[in-house]
Amino acid sequence: MITTALTRWFDLDAPVFGAPMAGAAGGELARAVGLGGGLGMIGVGADTDPDWVVAQGRLPAEADVSHGVGLMAWVLERRPELLAAAIATEPVLVSVSFGDPGPYVGPLHDAGIAVATAVNSLADLDRAHAAGADVVVAQGTEAGGHTGRRALLPLLQEVLAATDRPVLAAGGVATGAGLAAVLVAGAAGGWIGTPLLACPEATNTPAVRARLRAAGGDETVLTSAFDIAQGLAWPARWPGRALVNAFTETWHGREDELRGDTAAADQVRRARAEGDLEHAPVYAGESVGLLTAERSATDVVRTLVADAETALQRAARMVR
């Protein structure tokens, strides 16, 4: 067992936090991560039904494991009901990222819930401090889905030097050795997303999971093309890392032309509905090349920790 400030805080057996990936991380995945000893997070998207959030929160509870919920600040500005739905699931942790978490920390603390927020720069860290966030997630550009443009390792070191809050490391942490590396650097755990995308408990489809297993680590692109095509109000500073496909080959780098192109918008909407993975977004991080099998998230978490323990023991022998 690896013990950190956050495993003690949330009574976990593993310093592994499942990233709240909207469209992939529901209650079943959160439950499986929890059964592996970590903390699973339920991802809430821009169009998520509040009743779905509440229903998903029951699944970890039925297995007597804790869970968290991930929210997006820019969405909460127009859909405050999602905050109420998240609180209703009785999570131990709620992350509020991609915008100012400040307005939401008070209500969450009043409900006895700890608050995390992702940071992609030191300016973001200043905002997290001002908001009173309890946990900081240093998110590198290697991460899948929406992220910043700084690499994890230099960002993590800067954040650790500038905060007294527990820090989770996000972006490219996909093996036990990777988890050991961020723990040695000073992180209190890993914020794990891409390694869980190929798990059967994810809410994506078997076809998506097969596509992820077939992808190499150099087959991702950081792009706003999908957001622009769908008319999503994502702030421009957070593009999304997705698998390269026919749509990104056509439109990445031509985003100004894409704005207002109704045919392209219809193409993405149809692709998502029909499972056309050449024109729909499949968000994944640079560690996607390490996905080789469809395994339970419970097994993924346990393997990460067992391999991290081995890596840490090996490192300790090297410095004696």
Q: Where are the domains of the chain?
A: 5-204+297-318, 206-274
Beginning with the edge strand found earlier in the chain, give each strand of the sheet holding 240-243 in spatial order.
145-146, 240-243, 220-223
**Angle CA(247)–CA(250)–CA(255) in degrees, nearest 5?**
95
| Model pLDDT, residue 313 | 94
Identity of the amino acid at 240? G
- CB-based contacts of 158, cutoff 8 Å, min separation 6: 122
How is residue 204 written in tokens?
Answer: 């994506």
pLDDT, average across residues 257-283? 94
Q: Give pTM, 2 decimals.
A: 0.96
pLDDT digits (tens, 9 = 90+) for 32-54: 999 999 999 999 999 999 999 99
| Model pLDDT, residue 318 | 84
pLDDT, average across residues 261-274? 93
Answer yes or no: is pLDDT of 1 > 90: no
Identity of the amino acid at 34? G
Give the pLDDT band (50/70/90) at residue 250: very high
pLDDT digits (tens, 9 = 90+) for 151-178: 999 999 999 999 999 999 999 999 999 9
Mean pLDDT of the chain: 97
Report the distance separating Cα 57 and Cα 43, nearest Å: 11
Coil vs helix vs strand at 196: helix
- Euclidean distance between the first and the last CA atom of the chain, given in angstroms as a whole number: 22
| Model pLDDT, residue 317 | 87
Answer yes or no: is pLDDT of 120 > 80: yes
Give the pLDDT band (50/70/90) at residue 260: confident
| Model pLDDT, residue 119 | 98
Burial 165-201 (b: 16+ CB within 10 A, else e): bbbbbbbbbbbbbbbbbbbeeebbbbbbbbbbbbbeb
| Model pLDDT, residue 316 | 84
Secondary structure element (H or E) that encloses residue 195, with its range: none
Answer yes or no: is pLDDT of 320 > 80: no
Residue reference for tokens 């650790």: 160
Give the pLDDT band (50/70/90) at residue 315: confident
Give the pLDDT band (50/70/90) at residue 112: very high
Alpha-helical runs (H) found in the chain: 5-10, 27-35, 50-62, 73-76, 81-88, 102-110, 122-131, 152-162, 176-185, 206-214, 225-230, 246-251, 255-258, 262-274, 297-318
Instruction: Give the fold, CATH level 3, of 5-204+297-318.
Output: TIM Barrel (3.20.20)
Report the distance separating Cα 311 and Cα 151, nearest Å: 23
Residue 221 region by backbone torsions, left for phi larger than 0, else alpha for psi between -120 and 50, else beta: beta
Answer yes or no: is pLDDT of 26 > 80: yes
Report the distance separating Cα 98 and Cα 94, nearest Å: 13
pLDDT digits (tens, 9 = 90+) for 175-221: 999 999 999 999 999 999 999 999 999 999 999 999 999 999 999 99
Report the distance separating Cα 75 and Cα 79, nearest Å: 6
Is the Cβ–Cβ distance between 227 and 74 less than 8 Å? no
Coil vs helix vs strand at 282: coil
Express as a percent the part of the chain with pLDDT over 70: 100
| Model pLDDT, residue 16 | 98
DSSP string, 84-99: HHHHHT--SEEEEESS
